[in-house]
Amino acid sequence: MPENPRNPVPARSLRLGVAGPVGTGKSSLIALLCRELAGSLRIGVVTNDIYTDEDARFLRSAGVLDPERIRAVETGACPHTAIRDDVTANLLAVEDLEADFDPLDLVLVESGGDNLTATFSPALVDAQVFVLDVAGGGDVARKGGPGIARADLLVLNKTDLAPHVGVDVPQMLADARAARGERPVVALSRLDRASVEQLTGWLAGVLAEFRAGRHEARDPGPMAPHSHADGTVHAHEHAHEHDGEHAHALP
């Protein structure tokens, strides 16, 4: 079959980023995907923690994957930088996994959840999931941001908690759809079988497109300018994926 020169058939794994604020259930979602898919796909995982390898340890102890297939990147104080501006450490971790366990079908990369607006660079992942949870409040989907509006998939997680936190899931879904147009949203609970199948069904579709050479990595866009506790201001408005540069303008 002649190859499409713009989208050659990939010789490597599908790299899928999982982003979203701390505690929304990123590690749990990765554990769930491993549990569901490890029988049919060869999977590796890269976690990003600020100072620890806690996510990697959680996933290893969950026993859903050979512990050797779970690697931790320690990102230092600025976790979004490691998935967006200078992805070197993460790319090396992904490529090492791919080399050590060749061939892999899927590498899941968990972001060090720092805030609502961090997204992955398309230089690191082929597709990305953004995870919110209902306990974060029903209005969070409406507030938007590049991940919420333009990640390949938005997950509204822990819907089993909705009655306990007074969140209207259909309304939250409607708000998310309004922010995302045609892009898919899954209302997920690990306790709800049908929702788990929606998630794995979405991933199977992306993987099929990727293997057919039809998938294109899309950039949800940079995070909003923001400040750090030390007074450093980040303005991520320009493209600097590969140049190692950083806009750290001091106020």
Ligand X SMILES: Nc1nc2c(ncn2[C@@H]2O[C@H](COP(=O)(O)OP(=O)(O)O)[C@@H](O)[C@H]2O)c(=O)[nH]1
Binding residues for GTP: 20-27
Q: Is the peptide bond before 103 cis (omega within 30 degrees of 0)?
A: yes
Report the Cα 197 to chain-centroid distance in Å: 18
User: Per-residue x/- marks for ligand X, 176-195, CB under 6 A?
Assistant: -------------xx-----
- Told to check if 111 binds ligand X by CB under 6 A, we report no
- Told to check if 128 binds Mg ion by CB under 5 A, we report no
What is the edge-to-edge ordering of all strands in the sheet holding 153-157?
70-74, 43-49, 106-110, 14-19, 127-133, 153-157, 185-187
Annotated binding-site residues read 20-27
Binding residues among 10-29 for Mg ion as defined by CB under 5 A: 26-27
Strands 153-157 and 127-133: parallel
Phi, psi angle pair for 131, to nearest 5°: -110, 125
- Using CA atoms, how far apart are residues 142 and 156, in angstroms rounded to an integer? 12
- Of the residues 13, 15, 16, 25, which one makes contact with ligand X according to CB under 6 A: 25
Residue 160 binding: pick among ligand X, Mg ion, none (C-beta 5-8 Å cut-off by kind): ligand X
The piece of 16-24, 117-125, 196-204, 216-224 that touches ligand X (CB under 6 A) is 16-24
- Give me the residues that bind ligand X (CB under 6 A), please: 22-28, 113, 157-158, 160-161, 189-190
